[in-house]
Amino acid sequence: MSNLEDDLRIALRREEPSADFTERVLARLNQPAPAEPTWLERLGVLMRPPRLQWVAVAVIVSVVIPVATVQYRGERAKEQLLFAVRVTGTKLHQAQRKVVETGRMGTRL
């Protein structure tokens, strides 16, 4: 066994707590248990400064992100629709021109 292990046993030997430790444990046993907070009290705790910041962040994250996502998707859908309309318009225009050209050639012959 190494010296380090012996030294650790010495360094980590048991120590006693303060002399009145047992009495303090027994005193705490005799104290009435704190009453369970109502849901209103729990809500009140959430509305106090350090936690209020986190509540605000949670609300912002849970509202703003879904709204922004929906808005972004709407914009993308609108752009795609406009693009599709433009492509369709161009194609129709080309088809119309072909029809007119074909009609003129038929007239000449």
Residues that bind other proteins in the complex, under the rule CB under 8 A: 2-18, 21-22, 24-26, 28-29
Smaller CB distance to other proteins: residue 9 or 42? Answer: 9
Smaller CB distance to other proteins: residue 6 or 79? Answer: 6
Smaller CB distance to other proteins: residue 31 or 53? Answer: 31
Give me the least distance between CB of 37 and other proteins, in Å please.
Answer: 19
DSSP of 15-74, one letter per residue? Answer: ----TTHHHHHHHHHHSPPPPPPPHHHHHHHHTSHHHHHHHHHHHHHHHHHHHHHHHHHH
